[in-house]
A = this chain, B = another copy of it.
Amino acid sequence: MTTETPAAADTDRIDALHAMLESGSVIKATRMLNALHPAEIAHLLESLPPRSRELAWGMVDDSAEGEVLLYLNDDLRDSLLQDMSSARILAAVEGLDTDDLADLLQDLPATITAEVLSSLDEQRRERLETALGYPEDSAGGLMNTDMVTVRPEVTLDVVMRYLRRFRDGLPGGTDNLIVINRDGRYLGVLYLTDLLTHDPDDSVAEVMSLDVQPMPAALDARDVANRFEQLDLISAPVVDDEGRVLGRITVDDVMDVIREEAEHQFMGQAGLSETEDMFAPVLLSARRRALWLGINLLTAFLAAWVIGRFEATIQQVVALAVLMPVVASMGGIAGTQTLTLAIRGIALGQLSGKNVRWLLGKEMAVSVINSGIWALVVAGIALAWFGNTDIALIIAAAITINLLAATFSGALLPLLLDRIGIDPALAGGVILTTVTDVVGFLAFLGLATIFLL
């Protein structure tokens, strides 16, 4: 193979740029950087440590700055914006699309937002204010207001002549034209592929597709993404409560939503934000991490407190101290598996109040089998190690209790947290660990206190 994989190319590029910056080859580095797509520049900046990053940011062409800012993660974008003068910010955002501008504005200080708004013409300002009226994670927040609409009664030939007037090209991601009636209400879409393959004398009404459901502006971004994925959409119209078309969502924005949602689940379990900058300033990172360590310390001390209730028991049978982490850890592992399945089920809209009972039933059945198997194995090892049948029986019982409690919590916690408005991806793991630690230590040491002393 002579072709290079871009992952290798990506990291090679990082290393190459890094070397140029280190050796002071400013002209070479500037040329290399500005030959890239703004998204690639953003990707590179995210991969550079602070000092090189600052140097590289200074080299980016003024005309590309706005686009690069768009593609950066929130953390890094905020930190770069903070160091920019308002004149430079104004220049950077000048050429951006309305929806992109709306995204950026939400991160800018209010004084600059006002300046940007006043620098726009009437039509753009109105569109921008519409876009800013919806939360970032809704269909309205994702939508783009530049779109091409047509009326149902005209012929395809007329449409084609109309399109030829767009000398600057159609808006990005246009795979269809939106068909609206006199009141601006949504009727259907005319795919460009249909426009090109049908008889020019056919009317739009004859050729348009009715199977694309418009998205309500208030629709949650996660649900927008699920619909795009299920129906393989490239773009979809967004409508208000009365069915009037406000704009359209394109698949590139949806991919960002999918990526962010997935990262939220993955990073959230470690108490990290999905916008976490890998090379954030040390003090900023330290402060955020400290919070998470603090929360977890509370649960650790709760577990320690439970153990502390049994000091007298441990003093008499030290083997308990040796084995107790095994009980807690097995519960944690089993519970996390069920928790993970349930969190994914909720994110995909596949877990509801009704079928969670089925999930619980199935997971409990799995848990009964596995707690049986592993209780026996652990009891066997404990017996061989400490030669004490009572300890073996007690740890078998404790593991069974803890695995069942863990599975029960793992299945029900996410839906419960979701109902009361707490993010299961962020809080689920901590709460579950608290349950499995407390139940594990309590069952093991409690049973030991009753039967051994």
Contacts and interface: CB of A to CB of B under 8 A. Distances in A.
Interface of A: 1-3, 5-7, 10-12, 14-15, 18, 37, 39-40, 43, 46-49, 71, 160, 163-164, 166-167, 169-170, 172-175, 192-199, 216, 218-220, 222-223, 226-232, 234, 241, 251-252, 254-256, 258-259, 262-263, 265-267, 269-272, 276, 278-280, 282-283, 285-286, 289-290, 292-294, 296-297, 299-301, 303-304, 307-308, 311, 314-315, 318-319, 321-326, 328-330, 333-334, 336-337, 339-341, 344-345, 348-355, 358-359, 362-363, 365-366, 369-370, 373-374, 377-378, 381, 385, 437
Given A170-B197, A278-B359, A296-B333, A366 B289 contact: yes
Contact of A341 (B278, B369, B437): B278
Contacts of A12: 352
Given A15-B354, A251-B251, A223 B337 contact: no
A278 B370 contact: no
Given A167-B197, A336-B270, A362-B282, A349 B10 contact: yes
Contacts of A366: 282, 285-286, 289
Given A355-B49, A366-B282, A378-B297, A3 B218 contact: yes
Contacts of A355: 14-15, 18, 47-49
B344 A266 contact: yes
A318 to B, nearest CB: 5
A31 B2 CA distance: 54
B267 A349 contact: no
Contact of A325 (B10, B256, B303): B303
A369 B284 CA distance: 11
A64 to B, nearest CB: 14
List the 9 shortest-distance A-B pairs measured between CB atoms, nearest first: A262-B262, A11-B352, A321-B321, A3-B216, A10-B349, A49-B358, A232-B252, A39-B230, A270-B340
A197 B169 contact: yes
A82 to B, nearest CB: 19
A340 B288 CA distance: 15
30 contacts: A3-B219, A6-B226, A11-B351, A15-B355, A39-B230, A39-B231, A43-B348, A43-B349, A49-B358, A49-B362, A164-B196, A169-B193, A169-B194, A175-B234, A192-B193, A229-B255, A234-B251, A266-B344, A267-B340, A271-B333, A272-B341, A278-B341, A282-B366, A289-B334, A292-B333, A297-B374, A297-B378, A303-B326, A303-B329, A304-B326
Q: How many subunits of this chain does the assembly comprise?
A: 2
A352 to B, nearest CB: 3
B272 A262 contact: no
Given A278-B359, A350-B46, A366-B286, A337 B1 contact: no
A325 B289 CA distance: 20
Contacts of A194: 169
A293 B370 contact: yes
A330 B297 contact: yes
A1 B222 CA distance: 18
B322 A304 contact: yes
A160 B196 CA distance: 7
